[in-house]
Chain A
Amino acid sequence: MTAVQPTAMMSGRYQRAFTAAVVFLVAGWHLAGAGGQLLQNRSAYSSFAFQCAMWLVMALAITAGSVLVLRGAPGWLPAWAVAVFALAASTAAAAASPAGHMLAVNWAWGSAGWTGVLVLLRRRFAGLACFLAAEALAILGVQVRDGLHRSDLAGFLAVLAWSTIAQMAVAVGVRALDGAAGQAAAAAQSEHAARERATISESIQAARRARWLALQEGAVPLVAELASGTADPGDAQVRIRCAVQAARLRRLLAEGDELPGSLLHELHASADVAERRGVAVEIETAGPLPQMPGQARRVITDAAIAILTAAHSQARITLATVAAGTAVSFVADTGAAVLLPDASEGVAVEQQQDGGMLWAEARWSSQ
Chain B
Amino acid sequence: MEQPVTVAVIEDHPVVTEGVASWIRSDPGQRVRLVQTARDLTGLGTMAWQPTDVVILDLELSGELVTTQIPALVAAGYRVVAFSGHSDPAIVLETLDNGAHAYVSKEEGRDHLVEAVLAAAADRPYVTRSQARAILADQRPARPTLSEQERQALLLWFQGMSKASVGLRMSISENTVRQYISRVRAKYAATGRTAPSKDALLARAIEDGVIKPGEINPYKSLARAAADRPRLGAQDR
Contact = CB atoms under 8 A, between A and B. Distances in A.
Interface residues of B, number: 25
Contacts, number: 61
Interface stretch (B30-38, B64-72, B132-140): B132-140
B137 A286 contact: yes
B235 interface: yes
Interface stretch (A13-21, A36-44, A119-127, A352-360): A352-360
Say whether chain B's binding surface is mostly helix, strand, loop, or mixed: helix
Contacts of A327: 155, 159
A316 interface: yes
Nearest to A357: B165
A318 B132 CA distance: 12
B160 A329 contact: yes
Given A286-B89, A286-B137, A329-B160, A322 B169 contact: no
Nearest to A359: B161
A331 B160 contact: yes
Nearest to B233: A323
A46 to B, nearest CB: 75
A255 interface: no
A354 B139 CA distance: 33
Interface string B122-160: 000000010011101101000000000000000110111
Say whether chain A's binding surface is mostly helix, strand, loop, or mixed: strand
Interface residues of A, number: 19
B217 interface: no
Contacts of B224: none
Contacts of B139: 287
A318 B168 contact: no
A331 B159 contact: yes
Contacts of A323: 233-237
**Interface hub of A286, A287, A316, A318 (most chain B Cβ within 10 A):** A286
- What 4 A-B pairs come out closest when comparing CB atoms? A331-B160, A323-B236, A316-B160, A329-B159
18 contacts: A286-B132, A318-B133, A318-B159, A318-B160, A320-B133, A320-B158, A321-B136, A323-B233, A323-B236, A327-B155, A329-B159, A329-B160, A352-B168, A357-B162, A359-B156, A359-B160, A359-B161, A359-B169
Interface of A: 282, 284, 286-287, 316, 318, 320-324, 327, 329, 331, 352, 354, 357, 359, 361
Given A286-B132, A286-B158, A354-B162, 8 more contacts: A284-B158, A287-B137, A318-B158, A322-B155, A354-B164, A357-B162, A359-B159, A359-B161
